Amino acid sequence: MLKHRHIAALSVAFALLLAACSPKATGTGSLTPAPAGEQPHPGGTLTFIVNAEPPSFDGHRETTFALLHPIAPHYSTLYKFDPGDLTKVIPDVAAAMPEVSADKLSYNITLRTDVKFHDGSVMTSEDVVATYNKIIFPPTGVLSPRAGAYAAVESISAPAKDKVQFKLKYPSASFGTNLASPWNFIYSAAKLKTDIHWYEKNIDGTGPFTYVSNTKGQDWVGKKNPDYFAKDKSGVQLPYLDGYKALIITDATAEVNAVRSKQAMIEFRGFTPQQRDDLSRALPNDLAIQEAPWICVNYVVPNTKKKPFDDVRVRQALTLAIDRYAGSTALQKITIVKDVGGLMRPKGPFAQSDADLQKIAGFGTDAKANKDKAKQLLADAGVPNLTFKFLNRNITTPYEPVAVFVLDQWKQVGINATHDVKETSAYQADLRAGNFDVALDFNCDFLDEPDLQLAKFWSASGLGKGLNFAYYDDADLDKKIDAQSRETDPAKRLALVADIEKYAMDTKAYQYPVLWWYRIIPYLNVVRGWRIGSNHYTNQDLATVWLAQK
Amino acid sequence: MTAVSDAEIIARRSYVESTGRRRFVRFWRDFVRRRPLGTAGAVLIILMVFAAIFADWIAPYDPIANRFQDLLLGPSPEHLLGTDAFGRDVFSRIIFGSRTALLVGFTASIVGCTIGLVLGVVGAYFGGKIDMTIQRLMDILLSFPLIVIAIAVVAALGTGEDKIANVIAAITVPIIPRVARVVRSSALSVVNMPYIEATRSVGSGGARIMFRHVAPNVFAPYLIMMTAFLGQAILLEASLSFLGLGVFEPTASWGLMLRGAGMQFLERAPWLAIAPGVAISMAVFGFNLFGDSLRDALDPRLRTG
């Protein structure tokens, strides 16, 4: 027994030493997604990684990629982003782009007549109306976190079986593009009528893949929908793939190893720079890489319903303590965050200039002065040694490194926060129940659009329900958000958005970004027909993805 | 009957105590002389305990303070074991990690072994249905591997930086049946001895017999199991943290150090994995060496000279 135990203990140490000293692979992955002019090859099963479980199956209700990546291939939307040019909106179950009235208050949409649900029923305008009514005017007890993005909508109607009409209260710059939201799965009106919550636990879409199975914690499987309505430009029936399997792998190292061992072909959310480099060295001839700025950001969200976070001085201190510029320099080397920015994506169409941003609390470049002010504010608020729990989700990238950074920044001003890490479902349940002190939340959108990025700033008991986890109600801020949404002059809208940023992040310090993300997708180069965008939500129905034969 | 004076009682007590002290000193002197491996284990344990107690003075840096100018530095005179992805000194984190390891290890093994001792003695003393019920429950727990029960318990109780008690409970539960089984077999031979009968015949109650007369006689296997499970508990804590079910960042924990940057930067910064890996191995190795030597020293059948 003595010998066995000693041998076992020494073996562990020896194995670690061997692993650590093993020779490094060399080479880099290709940056070219696919050779030009190559024709899609039908067949095969795409295997990809999803690093979290979907909290429910209802796209209208959830806000996480963990739902979209495995489930979006089962559904269609009214419009979608062109997989070949992700800045362009194209029809999905719509037959053409909407006809917009001269006063921009009426959107008339003609639907395809060859769209069928997976249960065999034909999709009609009634289904689209039921879908959008659930999203924009959710009945009591139904969660719709993106309802605020459609605040301009007055009514939805179905003048004919293949016609849908949206009537707006005021012209909205974002409404047309928002119809391409990847979250707005078209649901069956009959199913919704029977049970408005049916889609939280069941699947029945009109998308390119039908549901096969779902083993919790293991995988999600879909197979080609033979009745899918879409064809490619050459008239070939879509989707190209025979099916897909989404592997649920929550450990970051296991994810990399799955790609490295070719058990998974791609992970659509993103890898860290280090993981990209490791894979490049390990698979020099089999890897392609795509990178892009990301409309994703982590927010620090104090629960304003709890003391002392109802005190604006405490909330201001929390943001002032964070030296975002130092964090950016360091964290971009180890995880998927990069740029310092406000509520709009840095360098995006609605971003403030650096000079203006630096005037906002917590975004100034003098870290010492900021921290001194934070200490003073905490002392003034009577909590110089503030202690609280910092809620986080158990997804390593980038939540863990961002939290470690933030906790250290707070410690430097005398705040002792403990890291409260939970799996996605429990984390979201706590957020929704207000069961936390301060949380590391996130906001990811499919488009640079203030109506989307500001959706979580509406009053919590109003349009911000299900998204605003700071739980404040602020009629002034609601008015400001509403005003920018109605403003069609781009320059004036930009000024209104800047004013909101100052008010929400500084004056009231309700919730504030840490660092914006940067998306890196290393994947096996047999995967073709998929292009990276500035978000990990669009382009996920996999209809045009195919596998090269090697 | 002869009357005994107070002075004589004090003298006898003093003799017994001094004899006990002498025996204790002689035992450890013999242990050091005859069991060099066990002594080496004891030295490793003492070093670890010393590091845990005096971590604040020994560690050259704050184990959780980020230093962005020092990211992923290799071992050097400034940072003996290098720095991690947040610029934190790995040596300091190893030192502070010993606190987590020992806190969980000592608490889990002491509590687990003590509960196991009680269950083992109670089962052996009462026998019959009580013994059968306890043993079948122990059989159920024994039918699962150590790590599986620990994962199940921690999953049921929840994890978190402020929930280290749950991690300790998760490690304690699988220790109980293993100790109960061993203690019971030793206690079975004790409960049938004539002196127990004699104790019973003078009117001693069950509890007194079990814990005054039986338990001390099964203390040797209890002590040995405790040292053996200390190493196991440390390994289990590291395993749970490695699996994301133990303590969380930024707490210094060896398993967590292996799981996080240790795995992610294995090729670029191998010291991040080697340092906690060696620390875990050395700790387990030390406790195993010490436990095995202690068993040999306390077991009369294995005693030499």
Domain ranges of chain B: 1-34, 41-302
What burial letters (b/e) apply to A505-521, b meaning 16+ CB within 10 Å?
A: bbebbbbbbbbbbbbbb
The yes/no answer on whether domain A76-200 falls in CATH 3.90.76.10 is: yes
Which residue bears the tokens 């194995």?
Answer: A15
Consecutive H or E run containing B174: helix B164-191
Distances (CA, A) of B282 to A13, A20, B35, B36, B92: 8, 18, 18, 16, 17
Residues 68-87 of B with CB under 8 A from A: 68, 71, 85-87
User: d(Cα A420, Cα B163) in Å, to the nearest integer?
Assistant: 9
Q: Which residues make up the CATH 3.10.105.10 domain(s) of chain A?
A: 294-518
Task: With cut-offs at 50, 70 and 90, classify the pLDDT of residue A36.
Answer: low
Which chain B residues have a beta carbon less than 8 Å from that of A251? 244
Which chain A positions have a beta carbon within 8 Å of B281's beta carbon?
9-10, 12-13, 16
Q: How many CB atoms lie within 10 A of CB A532?
A: 20
Local confidence band at B3 (pLDDT 50, 70, 90 cut-offs): low
Q: Are A143 and A196 in contact (CB under 8 A)?
A: no
Looking at the predicted structure, is the pLDDT value of residue A138 above 60?
yes
Distance CA B246, CA B90 (A): 19
Query: Residue B158 — very low, low, confident or very high, per pLDDT cuts 50/70/90?
Result: confident
Among A3, A10, A334, A427, pick the best mutation site for testing chain B contact (most B Cβ within 10 A).
A334
Chain A, 284 to 323: residues with Cβ < 8 Å from chain B are none
Q: Which amino acid is at B32?
A: V
Q: Stretch B189-212: mean pLDDT, rounded?
A: 85
- For chain A, residues classed under CATH 3.90.76.10 are 76-200
pLDDT digits (tens, 9 = 90+) for B252-299: 888 888 876 667 787 788 889 899 999 988 988 898 888 888 878 876
> Is the Cβ of A13 closer than 8 Å to some Cβ of chain B?
yes
- B197: part of which helix (H) or strand (E)? helix B194-201
Residue that has been written with the tokens 């009945």 in this structure? A139
DSSP strand pairing (A45-50 vs A243-248): parallel
Q: B207-255: per-residue pLDDT in tens?
A: 888 888 888 888 888 888 888 888 888 888 888 887 777 788 888 888 8
Please list, residue by residue across A217-255, b when 16 or more beta carbons sit within 10 angstroms of its beta carbon and e when fewer do: eebbbbbbbeebbbeeeeeebbbbbebbbbbbbbbbbeb
Pair B65, B88: CB distance under 8 Å: yes
> The domain A43-72+207-286+536-550 is classified under which CATH number: 3.40.190.10, 1.20.210.10, 3.40.1080.10, 3.50.50.60?
3.40.190.10
B41-302 under CATH 1.10.3720.10, yes or no: yes
CA distance B284 to A10: 10
3-state secondary structure of A408: helix
Which SS3 state, helix, strand or coil, does residue A416 take?
strand
Say how far apart CA B296 and CA A96 lie, in whole Å. Answer: 85
Instruction: Look at residue A483 and tell me whether its pLDDT is greater than 50.
Output: yes
Q: How confident is the model at residue A31 (pLDDT cuts 50, 70, 90)?
A: very low
β-sheet bridge partners, residue A80? A90
Q: Which of A174, A257, A81 is nearest to A493 (CA)?
A: A174
Cα end-to-end distance, chain B, whole Å: 41
| pLDDT tens column, A260-275 | 999 999 999 989 888 8
On chain A, the residues whose CB falls within 8 A of the CB of B236 are none
Could you report the per-residue pLDDT of A419-459, keeping only the tens digit for each?
998 888 889 899 999 999 999 999 988 888 898 899 999 99
Does the beta carbon of B156 lie under 8 angstroms from any beta carbon of chain A? Answer: no
Is A334 within 8 Å of B159 when comparing Cβ atoms? no
Mean pLDDT of the A43-48 span: 96
Q: Which residue has the tokens 């430097």?
A: A412
Q: Give me the total of CB pairs closer than 8 Å, taking one residue from chain A and one from chain B.
A: 110
Instruction: Please give the pLDDT value at position A34.
Output: 54
Nearest alpha carbon to residue B239 among B173, B155, B151: B151
Closest Cβ opposite residue B250 in set A6, A9, A419:
A419
Distances (CA, A) of A115 to A99, A122, B57: 21, 6, 71
Cβ distance of A420 and B270 shorter than 8 Å: no
The amino acid that residue A319 corresponds to is: T
Whether the per-residue pLDDT at B8 is higher than 90: the answer is no
Q: B162 and chain A: CB distance < 8 Å anywhere?
A: yes
Contact A548, A532 (CB under 8 A): no
Is residue B300 very low, low, confident or very high in pLDDT (cuts 50, 70, 90)? low
Query: Which pLDDT score, from 0 to 100, does residue B266 have?
Result: 78
User: How confident is residue B4, by pLDDT bands cut at 50, 70 and 90?
Assistant: low
Which of B85, B244, B278 lies nearest to residue A334, judging by beta carbons? B85
- List residues bridging with A209 in a β-sheet: A224
> Which of A61-65, A293-297, A420-424 comes out lowest in average pLDDT?
A420-424
- Tell me which H or E stretch contains A426: helix A424-433
Minimal Cβ distance to B281: which of A12, A272, A389: A12
Q: How far is CA A298 from CA A393, A460, B89, in A?
A: 12, 19, 27
Chain segment A163-202, per-residue pLDDT in tens: 999 999 999 888 999 999 999 999 999 999 999 999 999 9
Q: Report residue A309's pLDDT band, with 50, 70 and 90 as the boundaries.
A: very high
Query: Does the distance separating the beta carbons of B273 and A16 come in below 8 Å?
Result: yes
Cβ neighbours of A529 (radius 10 Å): 23
Mean pLDDT of B11-15: 72
Cβ count near A346 (within 10 Å)? 19
A202 part of contact set with chain B, CB < 8 Å:
no
The predicted structure's pLDDT at residue A5? 47
Q: What is the pLDDT of residue A356?
A: 94
Q: What band does B69 get if pLDDT is binned at 50, 70 and 90?
A: confident
* Nearest chain A residue (CA) to B258: A16
Q: Which of A32-41, A219-228, B57-66, B84-93 has the highest mean pLDDT?
A: A219-228
Predicted confidence at residue A289, as pLDDT, reads: 95
Quick check: A12 and B277 CB within 8 A? yes
Supply the CATH classification number for the domain A294-518. 3.10.105.10
Q: What is the dihedral of CA B295, B298, B302, B304, to 10 degrees?
A: 130
pLDDT reported for residue B303: 54
If you compute the radius of gyration of chain A from its CA atoms, what whole number of angstroms results? 24
Q: Which of A9, A403, A418 sits opposite B281 (nearest CB)?
A: A9
Alpha-carbon distance B92 to B117, whole Å? 37
Q: Is B244 on the interface with A (CB under 8 A)?
A: yes
Chain A residues within 8 A of B251 when measuring between CB atoms: 419
Residue A22 has pLDDT above 50, yes or no: no
pLDDT digits (tens, 9 = 90+) for A229-257: 999 988 999 999 999 999 999 887 889 99
Q: How far apart are CA B26 and CA B22, in angstroms?
A: 6
Instruction: State how far the Cα of A122 lies from the Cα of B52, in Å rounded to an integer.
Output: 69
Neighbour-count burial for B248-286, b at 16+ CB within 10 Å, e otherwise: bbbbbbbbbbbbbbbbbbbbebbbbbbbbbbbbbbbbbb
> Is the pLDDT assigned to residue B301 strictly greater than 70?
no
What percent of chain A clears pLDDT 70, i.e. is strictly above it? 93
Q: For residues A502 and A98, give the distance between their C-alpha atoms in angstroms, rounded to a whole number.
A: 36
A321: closest CA of chain B, how far (Å): 14
Burial class (CB in 10 A: 0-12, 13-18, 19+), A106: middle
β-bridge partners, B210: none
Q: What integer pLDDT is reported at residue A24 of this predicted model?
A: 34
Shortest CA distance to A255 belongs to which of A271, A238, A232, A277?
A: A271
Asked if A330 lies within 8 A of B268 by C-beta distance, the reply is no
List all residues 6 or more positions away from B129 whose beta carbon is below 8 Å from its beta carbon: none
Q: By mean pLDDT, which of A13-17, A281-285, A483-487, B45-49 is the weakest?
A: A13-17
Per-residue confidence at A386, pLDDT binned at 50, 70, 90? Answer: very high
Residue identified by tokens 């007055």 is A154
Q: CB of A18 within 8 Å of any CB in chain B? A: no
Q: What share of chain A is helix, strand, coil (3-state, %, to 5)?
A: 30, 20, 45
**Cβ distance of A408 and B65 shorter than 8 Å:** yes
Contact A287, A524 (CB under 8 A): yes
Name residue A247's beta-bridge partners: A49, A219
Residue B185 CA, chain-centre distance (Å), reads: 21
For B249, the closest of A250, A404, A422 (CB atoms) is: A404
